[in-house]
Amino acid sequence: MGAIILLYGLVKLEPISTITDCTITYLGKLWFVDRMVWLFEDLKEHPEFKNWIY
């Protein structure tokens, strides 16, 4: 959702909208990466997935 508003801010050249929504999009991506690392840490000792990473 933030990327759509970010695109609007870029097209209309509104700096507040662009900066705010760029931040929202960036934080959303950081949250996603954090969850993937958390999932990896939980599964790295699982016997089925252990062969995939080593």
- Using one digit for the tens of pLDDT, what is the confidence trace for 12-53? 888 888 888 888 889 999 999 999 999 988 888 888 877 777
Give the pLDDT score at 29: 93
Give the pLDDT score at 27: 92
Give the pLDDT score at 36: 95
Give the pLDDT score at 2: 67
Give the pLDDT score at 22: 85
Q: Name the percent of the chain in helix, strand, coil, to the closest 5.
A: 85, 0, 15
Give the pLDDT score at 54: 62
